[in-house]
Structure 1
Amino acid sequence: MIKNLCKKTAFFIITGLLFTVLLSGCGKPGSQGSSDQPSGHPNIQFEMENGDKMTFELYPEYAPETVNNFVSLAKSGFYNGLTFHRIIKGFMIQGGDPKGDGSGGSDKDIKGEFSSNGFTQNTLNHTKGIISMARSGDPNSASSQFFIMDGPAANLDGEYAAFGKLISGEETLDKIASTPVKANPNARGEVSLPTEKVVIKAVTILEK
């Protein structure tokens, strides 16, 4: 899901699947970019509270404003101490909400960089390991919430701003996706609420 129930309940608007609730693929890197956005392919690392890690390569040539926003939030320490508040094994894990319930975000929304919003240069597909931005029904409502794919979901392609992919730490993704969950009152009873906190200790930009 993506954002949406209160002002910002980031849950995916997923059609098909049984997750048709307002809640909110690894393509090859392209070549287009913007001079005022991060250059090259920044690498970011998630370190979990238990010491597990995941590293992602980001693609500003596909989603420049999205990458710039995520990198800025990470550098500011915004994500440190937040949780993965929504988990659906085989589909995705979602985090980045300072409220921890899917209704929060940062103080800025960004343009939705995906084809159904007129942004055709983003051709990344939502396959396992892809990181993408959560949003509400408003295509330009992405803020800080993101989701990481634990399986393919072609119906999200062109509807959400995918902006990077997992390059190491798949075992960490698998472990998080296997966290026990229960019915989520913030998502119309969807079974996605972790029964234990899955805490992000820090998100950092790695030096190359």
Structure 2
Amino acid sequence: MNLSLPRRTVALGLLAGSLALAGCGKDDSSSGSSSSGGSGSANASTQCPPADGSAQKKQSFDDAPPMCIDANKTYTATMTTDVGDVVITLDAKKAPKTVNNFVVLSRYHFYDGVSFHRVIPGFMAQGGDPKGDGTGGPGYTIEDEFPQEGEYKEGSIAMANTGQPNSGGSQFFIVTGDSGTALPPQYTLFGQVSKGMDVVKKIEADGNQDGSQEGTPVKKHTITSVKIEEK
């Protein structure tokens, strides 16, 4: 399968060869998107959403958000899907900019109604594209915060990217098997499933290993909401 660099990609080393799996989605506003590295700016038009979840749904932004979280606090995301809840412990200490981005998008209800558009059993379940076809994004990109070699494990949640530096936006993937844990440290790791891996496995069960389908699942599962708890 050919690697398409304009699209968000997760590359997998398989046996003695290398299989590039495309489909993590081109940012639909990449021609005019901004990359502030997630650090925020006093002039940024994107504002911090209310922590109580009262913000109106928003899926298009002019700029990356300012820093809205406290990296010294603990953040947990409860992702409600059509097949159950997935609880994710977010790692704000190791990936503060990425966690900030995920928290802000979640509080803006960006992920509500968004599907897992690419699911490959034994590898990963990918979502976060509002278009649902791998071509969408929030309108900006954020800075990479890569992990160390060997840190991915089953239930890890990481950012998809185009293969170019600082190209993550809203699309993420959850590692579901050995092929995912073997990934090189080229995808920002920002959390770990702490409860509901059985739900992730239900999503994985409807995935697609047919290379010609680029992981398009047999049945798409949908995120209903993502609620953030701060402690």
Answer whether TM exceeds 0.5 for this pair: yes
- 1:130 and 2:153 correspond: no
Match of 1:20 in 2: 20
Computed over aligned residues only, the root mean square deviation of the Cα atoms, in angstroms, reads: 2.7
Match of 2:122 in 1: 90
Match of 1:61 in 2: 93
> How many Å apart are 1:107 and its aligned residue?
1.4
- 1:73 and 2:71 correspond: no
TM-score by length of structure 2 reads 0.71
Identity %: 34
Distance between the aligned counterparts of 2:68 and 2:112, measured in 1? 28
Unaligned runs of 5+ in 1: 25-33, 116-121
Distance between the aligned counterparts of 2:74 and 2:206, measured in 1? 30
Distance between the aligned counterparts of 1:202 and 1:22, measured in 2? 26
Match of 1:149 in 2: 175
Asked which structure has the greater CA Rg, the reply is 2
Amino acid at match of 2:193: L
Match of 1:196 in 2: 219
Post-superposition, which runs of at least 4 consecutive aligned residues in structure 1 deviate over 6 A? none
Distance between the aligned counterparts of 2:219 and 2:22, measured in 1? 24
Unaligned runs of 5+ in 2: 25-66
What aligned pairs does 1:43-62 form with structure 2 within 5 A after superposition?
A: 43-50=76-83, 52-62=84-94
> How many Å apart are 1:200 and its aligned residue?
0.6
Match of 2:132 in 1: 100
Distance between the aligned counterparts of 2:184 and 2:95, measured in 1? 13
- 1:159 and 2:186 correspond: yes
- 1:174 and 2:201 correspond: yes
Distance between the aligned counterparts of 1:195 and 1:151, measured in 2? 18
Equivalent residue pairs, number: 185
> How many Å apart are 1:101 and its aligned residue?
1.2
- In structure 2, do the counterparts of structure 1 residues 177 and 158 end up closer, same or farther at CA, with 3 Å as the change threshold? same
Distance between the aligned counterparts of 1:85 and 1:19, measured in 2? 19
- In structure 2, do the counterparts of structure 1 residues 36 and 192 end up closer, same or farther at CA, with 3 Å as the change threshold? closer
SS of alignment partner, residue 87 of structure 1 = strand
